[in-house]
Structures are given as C-alpha cells and as structure tokens.
Amino acid sequence: MHVLLLKEGRALTTVHAKGRTPVVIPKSPERGADAAARALQAVLVSLEDSKAENIVTIDIAGKSALGDHMVVVSGRSSRHVLAIADHLMTDLKDEGFGNARVEGLDGGDWVLIDTGDIIIHVFRPEIREFYNIEKMWAAPDLDEGTLH
C-alpha cells in the first residue's frame, strides 16, 4: 500500500492488487459516432487498397455491445486474407486506432480484427459462405414488428 500526500495535505491511499487483472480493450479514445465513422472510413480505405473483395458493412450500433460496425470481406486465398489483415492492422495503427485484438492469423481462413468500435472479418470465400455472418446480422429485429 502506498500513501500519497496531495497539495491540500490530504492523504490518498492506493492499493496495488496482486495477480492478473483482466484486460478490457476500450472503444476508441474519441467517443461517439464521429470516432466510429472515422475508424470505419480508415478501415474501408485500407480494405480497398488491399483489393479485398465483396466488402459488406453492417451497422450493429444498438443491436450489440460488441461495437458500432461490422465489416465482412473476402480475400482470394489464405495468403491474400493474411495480407489484407496485415495491411489493415498497419493502417489502423498509423491512423491512431492501434491495439486492435486479432485472431486467426495462424490459419488464413478467417481473421477477426476487433478495434473496439469496429469488428472486421476477413474470410476466404468458402469459409465466408459456410458461416454466412451477413445473413445472421441482417435478420430483422423482433421489436420492429416485421415478423408475424
């Protein structure tokens, strides 16, 4: 335990816990729709530069606590999927959206990149067709009254 004295003479006590503290990746430092829109634009530009195919953007704000947007794209091969993911991670870091969580870099079939505001899925076409994530997220909301 540490005791710090503030200028006013009051003591501030801090306790340092032992063990692992769970890491939570916060949404981007600039909060709000503007930050998410800026991040989405950076993602889309990077994906276009990498020649990603069949780019689909899904607005999940209000539907999920996972983020504001989901982007689903295809690469022509495992090598292309990995190149798209690598290029995107570099571009995100350069634009100030670094520290994204990444999974799937070992296989190249499906890479998931989570920036906090945006979740990007990069698939080989066969894997994308099998999981069909777009269809799952495009399902109508029950509270919209579209289903009878």
What would the 3-class secondary structure string for 35-73 be?
HHHHHHHHHHHHHHHCCCEEEEEEECECCECCCCEEEEE
**Terminal Cα distance for the chain, rounded:** 60
As a CATH number, domain 52-138 is 3.30.460.10
Whether pTM exceeds 0.75: no
| CB-CB contact of 94 with 87 (8 Å) | no
Sorted by where each begins, the domain ranges of the chain are: 52-138
Taking only the tens place, the pLDDT of each residue in 55-80 is 999 888 777 777 878 999 999 999 99
Q: pLDDT for 133-142, tens place per residue?
A: 888 776 555 5
